[in-house]
Amino acid sequence: MTLDLFASLPLPGPQEEPLGPGATLLRGFALAQSSEVLGAIAEVTRQAPFRHMTTPGGFRMSVAMTNCGAVGWVTDRTGYRYDALDPQTGLRWPAMPPVLAALAARAASRGGFADFRPDACLINRYEPGTRLSLHQDKDEQDHTAPVVSVSLGLQAVFLFGGPRREDKTRPIPVVHGDVVVWGGVSRLWYHGVRPLKDGDHPVLGRQRINLTFRQALR
């Protein structure tokens, strides 16, 4: 067989890994569009910079956050909620860039959830040592729509558990371009991220960016 024949073979597409009922890991799904996605994130963060929010208990979150979309997820001493206004500026959150909304919709469809129209995108920035404790995404009005999570930058370990906090979690390594989709039975399952290990990603350096798309409003 010649090298020309090898060259003509199609490249493997994103690999799907089932994580549970209604939950799928799409390996490399966002990789082809990563440059466009990062450009869109840069524009969002120019308008609404990353910041460390405070939990209702008064603790400063180690993960830096911002939002885009019709509403943004925020936390402060008054509680967790979605708000149309950025509390730091009093202005509306930046509109969700079409490239981000389209990526989320395609990933959701690939994961078995057609017609996903996210109205909120939480953007988290992890630096070495930062983590996200186990939690449920339950502040949304609509739990029939899935959650779509896009990983960029340094490799992380995503923890996916069950409907109870004490359920055993499955550690899932996620790398640049991976997307996790979960909904249906697993929509309210607990999940989190282990402390990020240090490293130097060729594009993002010593950080990981995560996009979490949700349909927050009915």
Task: For residue range 109-154, list pLDDT tens digits in order.
Answer: 999 999 999 999 999 999 999 999 999 999 999 899 999 999 999 9
Q: What is the mean pLDDT of residues 155-169?
A: 98
Whether 59 maps to a domain, the answer reads yes
d(C-alpha 211, C-alpha 182), whole Å: 14
Task: For residue range 66-117, list pLDDT tens digits in order.
Answer: 999 999 999 999 999 999 999 999 999 999 999 999 999 999 999 999 999 9
Task: Indicate the burial class of 121 (C-beta count within 10 angstroms; 0-12, 13-18, 19 or more).
Answer: buried
| pLDDT for position 218 | 83
- Where in the sequence is the domain holding 108, given as residue range(s)? 14-214
What single-letter DSSP state applies at residue 164?
S
Task: For residue range 28-43, list pLDDT tens digits in order.
Answer: 999 999 999 999 999 9
Whether 5 maps to a domain, the answer reads no
Whether 2 maps to a domain, the answer reads no
Helix (H) / strand (E) containing 27: strand 23-27
Query: How many domains would you assign to the chain?
Result: 1
Whether 190 maps to a domain, the answer reads yes
The identity of residue 149, as a single letter, is S
Whether 9 maps to a domain, the answer reads no
CATH for 96: 2.60.120.590
Whether 3 maps to a domain, the answer reads no
Whether 4 maps to a domain, the answer reads no
